[in-house]
Amino acid sequence: MFRKDLLELLRDNPMSVAEIAREVRVPVKEVHDDLRHLLQSLRHTGQEMDVTPAQCRKCGFEFDAEKLTKPSKCPKCRATWIREPLIEIRNRHRG
């Protein structure tokens, strides 16, 4: 049920894990786990999860898209001013 809600919430609407957690009122860790499961279940569907990686707002360093939660600091310049990764569900491109 919750995963289906996530799907609806994120369809063409990029949100960070923290924003999702606030929206659906569940802990960040739980949202993170559900997103992982959702990613698996989307594999054979017409939809896909699109992740905009976290990025350092100071030096522009781009984090790994595998990480769905906000990194604490930039490994390059040590800044803590990090833009959170954004997660979106989109229709898979065909052809």
Site residues (vs Zn ion, CB under 5 A): 56, 58-59, 61, 74, 76-77, 79
CB of 5 to Zn ion, least distance (A): 34
Closer of 29 and 73 to Zn ion (Cβ): 73
3-state helix, strand, coil in the chain (%, to 5): 35, 20, 45
CB of 77 to Zn ion, least distance (A): 3
Closer of 65 and 79 to Zn ion (Cβ): 79
Closer of 63 and 88 to Zn ion (Cβ): 63
Give whole-number Cα distances, 85 to 18, 52, 57, 69, 75, in Å. Answer: 10, 5, 12, 7, 16
